[in-house]
Amino acid sequence: MDKNQIKIRIEKLSREINKIRYQYHVLDKPDVTDEVYDSLTKELRELEEKFPELKLPDSPTQRIGGTPLSKFQKVKHQIRQWSFDDVFDFSELGKWEEKVKRLAEKNPLLSGVPDILSQRERRNTAELEYVCEIKIDGLKIILNYKNGIFVQGATRGDGLIGEDATENIKTIYSVPLKLSTPIDLVAVGECWLSKSELKRINSARKIQNEAQFANSRNAAAGSIRQLDPKVAASRKLDSFVYDIDFLALSPALSRVQERGLMKIPQTQMEELILLEKLGFNVNQERKLCKNIEEIQKFYDSWKNRKDKEDYGIDGIVIKINSKKIQDALGYTGKSPRWGVAYKFPAEKVTTVIEDIKIQVGRTGALTPVAHLRPTVVAGSTVSRATLHNEDEIKRLDIKIGDTVVIRKAGDVIPEVVEVLKNLRTGEERKFKMPTVCPICGSSVMREETINQSSAFPLLASARNSSKPSFSAATYCKNKKCFAQEKEKIIHFVSKKGFNIDGLGERIVEQLMNEGLVSNFSDIFELTKGDLEPLERFAEKSAENLLFAIEESKKITLPKFLFALGIRHLGEEGAVLVERNMEKIFKIKLKNILDLMEIFSKIQKEEWLKIKGVGDKVAESLVEWFGNQENIEVLEKMAELGVEIIIEKEEKNGSKKLENLTFVLTGELKSFTRDGVKDIIRKEGGDVSSSVSRKTDYVLVGENPGSKFGKAQELKVKIINEEEFKKMI
């Protein structure tokens, strides 16, 4: 900017800051967050320091205002770890509740089976009770107890496999090493570091010229991942525990003791009370709410006082109180349906959009990306933010040169949420989406979407007879576009795929430009002679990359499927496919050649038999494995030594409940319902919601309902908890 532009910028910033200050302090009607105000003030102060002669006389800046470990071991979680979906305002919360009620009305477990819910509970599914708990900004930890003794602590990891952090978690005084009752338990909680302790640690690190932690969450995570437990012990970590994933009474307890000391929680509130009795540190700030209006009041109360606590709070967690309803609603591929995280407003700052450029993804989607004047948000420097699509740019009326508010919640990619139009100078430029792909020059288009609804055929017909609807994203029509191919390979080698260390974006692009890599299989044909002549590749670098490629050749089926980049098939979908191959299709894959032959024959209707696989995923699987070019790439990978690792059986040998189907009914005393389901699945069995002639066993607790009578009618084997314990 020239000096005149800087003068105009200073004047506009001063006016805008004064306006915000007036709305906040005089009218008590702020329309932006303190973070936005601080960000604008910071920019103004920096400009005034560089150009003191341009400082206005009424500038707002004048106002005074154990044994060290060699490495961490991986650990497979006994119970799958989930993450809650997020909502950010009352409107989104209302949509979540509507969805839950709609699912409840349609779910046979909630509407037509008296042994799952009482008549009163079924009548009141439209008026659900919710438990609200404050959401601690820390690190999730999973605590395992055997016979009441703490035996293992782990991090969440990817939900299936975490890191064994037992020795470091033992240093947390609020984590009991022995429970008040000798039970087997998997408890879940949050490890956190107080703000005062973070300040002390950073002061000490500053004296030692060490990098300071950006926030208490990073410090907590860094402490838990210390190889020397003495370091973790020195940092005064704390914890709150909030969930029970698995609960089984010890055989050592007599039935009399069981009745006296233990009652399986039927609600989330009862679960929190039980955790307290067992000796855990449970946050006392929780509330039982009858509706979302009460939830909003709880949310608002904490939004206004969260910063007064000595631990980080980034929202509230909402859970349906009834465990029976939780069980019936279950999970999506990645999140519980019965709960949601209501996040506080993300950290926001202001900056300027210096340019907008197009990024072409692996699916061909053209995504506009804002190139920003660098700014610090959520502890890291940000220079880019996604603008999502053309419709979003029009909705926000974004122009190149605009001053904008950006937000970043945790590790989420920053996004533009608001344009400060009062700061416009008239020199801002409109952005237009390209009519051709900026990479390959091919034509682009928005994909036409089909409105389908088997539940409402007349509505679907009416929609289809009107104007066609189109996707929000614009796509490059050239399937061989360089940008798409590059993004596919970057996805293929990423940590969640083949995890090839050293194959970053720049190296992938370099190898493609040199003609050495054009598809997945080419990666495994690279030689030292191919790499050494290239820029950035010395002899050692080439050897390291080739070693990493060789190490990656053995891969699990879920990671392999995810790496292929099949549209709509994410990590969870890939796990679902692996878990159901043998159960549904009676197929046990041994290698890539098996996969090629078998997957290419499976039709959409067959894929849909897998619970959790929908139309889009099924169609994508059929399309991908029906493409001859893809099959040839797989064949080449097999020739080059890529192997699919088949999960080994448990150490105990064959699974005790293999191929057996169970139905549960009544109130169980020794297990939670989720716990017994996990045991059945772990031992190779399956759990069904209804009794049929295909059912092998009906596990009956106290007060069984209609399933008990159905089992008697069909002469299905009925067992109690003691008989079930003998089976496992």
- Could you give the dihedral angle defined by the CA atoms of residues 714, 720, 724 and 725, in that order, rounded to the nearest 10 degrees? 180
Q: With H, G, I as helix, E, B as strand and everything else as coil, classify residue 57.
A: coil
d(CA 444, CA 660): 52
d(CA 381, CA 416): 15
φ, ψ at 592 (rounded to 5°):
-65, -35
Rounded to the nearest angstrom, the gap between the alpha carbon of residue 357 and the centroid of all alpha carbons in its chain is: 28
Task: Count other C-beta atoms under 10 Å from residue 428's C-beta.
Answer: 18
d(CA 608, CA 616): 10
Residues that are catalytic: 135
Reading the block at residue 173, the tokens are 């005084």
φ, ψ at 268 (rounded to 5°):
-65, -40
Q: Is residue 247 within a helix (H) or strand (E), and if so which, with residue range? A: strand 238-249
CA distances from 169 to 83, 154, 156, 233 (A): 21, 8, 13, 9
d(CA 423, CA 526): 53
**Nearest CA-CA partner of 321 in 282, 280, 265, 283:** 265
Reading the block at residue 305, the tokens are 């006082």
d(CA 527, CA 550): 11
DSSP class per residue in 438-483: TTT--BEEEEEE----SS-HHHHHHHHHSPPEEEEEEEES-TT-HH
Residues whose CB falls within 8 Å of the CB of residue 259, separated by 6 or more in sequence, listed in order: none
Q: Which amino acid is at 485?
A: E
**Nearest CA-CA partner of 313 in 342, 335, 337:** 342
φ, ψ at 638 (rounded to 5°):
-65, -40
The widest CA-to-CA distance across the chain, in whole angstroms, is 93
Q: Which amino acid is at 439?
A: I
User: Which DSSP letter does residue 178 get?
Assistant: B
d(CA 289, CA 344): 19
Q: Which amino acid is at 547?
A: F
d(CA 485, CA 488): 5
Rounded to the nearest angstrom, the gap between the alpha carbon of residue 148 and the centroid of all alpha carbons in its chain is: 31
Residues whose CB falls within 8 Å of the CB of residue 660, separated by 6 or more in sequence, listed in order: 680, 684, 685, 686, 696, 697
Q: With H, G, I as helix, E, B as strand and everything else as coil, classify residue 295.
A: helix
CA distances from 28 to 63, 121, 298, 350 (A): 19, 44, 22, 22
Please state whether beta strands 643-645 and 554-556 pair in parallel, antiparallel, or not at all (unpaired): parallel
Please state whether beta strands 469-476 and 717-719 pair in parallel, antiparallel, or not at all (unpaired): unpaired
Rounded to the nearest angstrom, the gap between the alpha carbon of residue 420 and the centroid of all alpha carbons in its chain is: 31
d(CA 371, CA 389): 15
